[in-house]
Amino acid sequence: MLEIRHLKTLHALREADSLVEAAERLHLTQSALSHQFKELEERLGMPLFVRKTKPLRFTSAGLRLLQLADATLPLLRGAERDIARLAGGTAGRLHMAIECHSCFQWLMPTIDQFRDAWPEVELDLASGFAFAPLPALARGDLDLVVTSDPLELPGITYVPLFTYEAMLAVANQHPLAHKPYVVPEDLLTETLITYPVERDRLDIFTRFLEPADVEPAQVRTSELTVMMMQLVASGRGVCGMPHWALHEYSSRGYVKGKRLGEKGLFATLYAGIRADMLDAPYMRDFLLTAKDTSFSTLDGVSAVR
């Protein structure tokens, strides 16, 4: 009566909180996912969740199956890892770098899980702020680079991790705090606080300000997210930041997050990998773990459409 795919779809539905988002994460159409749930509910003779509720509400039967999923799916993943070890490919190295200052929030839990699951793999992490990590990846010095700015390089494949919204952090008392969204001209008189990276790697410049031929009054940099939020909260400037990194502060009323443009500004985070590493069992598992961790820990991220 029950199949592993049923447990996976229920788990995805709980994490996504909507049929549309769950279907995207499972690479299914919404129609196919709805049909799968309808088929299972007909087998069981009872509904698993209440339709058209926000947040999503599971029935008693749905909650019981979620308990089963929580107990079973980690065991299944562990068995798959063990089989991969038996088949070979357990040893190796995974040297990675990140080009994203705010990625540590989800990358550290991912690395902790991976280290426990693949103790034989030599793991190393560096920040890509002091050197160019993508050329280092192409040379073979690195095995994986987390980036939102993929470059076409021979032998490099980019695996999308998730889509996120770039937003503007402003002080609670700032005039922009009361606007539904900001336009480029709003930043003409502002001090824009950014991470210390080249302007051509910052979406707020390349995709928001420069197309409108707008330059902020001043630009200052900071390496630490918490310091940037301190500056914003004290009225020393405004700051472009991914929604997931900003949410920790805006949800506590420390600053306000404003949409960039009426429709928002969205970007995708990728894992750049050498083509010869794609089929390594531990690399595939790292990518799955990274996606699972990001969807379960970050606010406002979605599957790549």
The model's pLDDT over 186-224, given as tens digits with 9 standing for 90+, comes to 999 999 999 888 888 888 999 999 999 999 999 999 888
Cα–Cα distance for residue pair 240/173, rounded to 1 Å? 17
Pairing of strands 156-170, 181-182: unpaired
Name the one residue in this structure whose structure tokens are 């192409």: 138
With beta carbons less than 8 A apart as the criterion, state whether 282 and 90 touch: yes
Q: Give pLDDT, residue 23.
A: 85
CA–centroid distance for 39 within its chain: 31
With beta carbons less than 8 A apart as the criterion, state whether 243 and 269 touch: no
Which is higher by pLDDT, 301 or 131? 301
Q: Give pLDDT, residue 178.
A: 93
Which is higher by pLDDT, 221 or 294? 221
Cα–Cα distance for residue pair 239/232, rounded to 1 Å? 7
Is 247's pLDDT higher than 60? Answer: yes
Q: Give pLDDT, residue 89.
A: 59
Q: Give pLDDT, residue 88.
A: 63
With beta carbons less than 8 A apart as the criterion, state whether 94 and 283 touch: yes
Is 225's pLDDT higher than 70? Answer: yes
With beta carbons less than 8 A apart as the criterion, state whether 29 and 23 touch: yes
Q: Give pLDDT, residue 234.
A: 94
pLDDT over 90 percentage in the chain: 40
Mean pLDDT (the chain, rounded): 88
Q: Give pLDDT, residue 67.
A: 92
Cα–Cα distance for residue pair 65/69, rounded to 1 Å? 6
Cα–Cα distance for residue pair 129/90, rounded to 1 Å? 30
Question: In DSSP terms, which residues pair with 163 in a beta bridge?
Answer: 268, 302
Cα–Cα distance for residue pair 250/253, rounded to 1 Å? 5
User: Average pLDDT for residues 297-301, to the nearest whole number?
Assistant: 80
Question: In DSSP terms, which residues pair with 182 in a beta bridge?
Answer: 260
With beta carbons less than 8 A apart as the criterion, state whether 117 and 87 touch: no
Cα–Cα distance for residue pair 28/17, rounded to 1 Å? 16
With beta carbons less than 8 A apart as the criterion, state whether 181 and 208 touch: no
With beta carbons less than 8 A apart as the criterion, state whether 12 and 291 touch: no
Q: Give pLDDT, residue 182.
A: 96
Peptide bond just before 55 cis, omega within 30 deg: yes
Question: In DSSP terms, which residues pair with 258 in a beta bridge?
Answer: 168
Q: Give pLDDT, residue 87.
A: 65
Q: Give pLDDT, residue 210.
A: 95
Write out pLDDT tens, residues 156-189.
Answer: 999 999 889 999 999 999 999 999 999 999 999 9
User: Average pLDDT for residues 1-11, to the nearest whole number?
Assistant: 87
Cα–Cα distance for residue pair 243/16, rounded to 1 Å? 16
Write out pLDDT tens, residues 108-151.
Answer: 888 888 888 888 888 888 765 556 888 899 988 899 999 888 88
Element (H, E) at 39: helix 30-44
CA count, 13 A, side-chain hemisphere, 95: 10
Name the one residue in this structure whose structure tokens are 């420390």: 254
Q: Give pLDDT, residue 296.
A: 79
pTM over 0.75: no
Write out pLDDT tens, residues 90-108.
Answer: 667 899 998 877 777 778 8
Nearest to 208 by CA among 275, 261, 268: 261
Q: Give pLDDT, residue 92.
A: 77
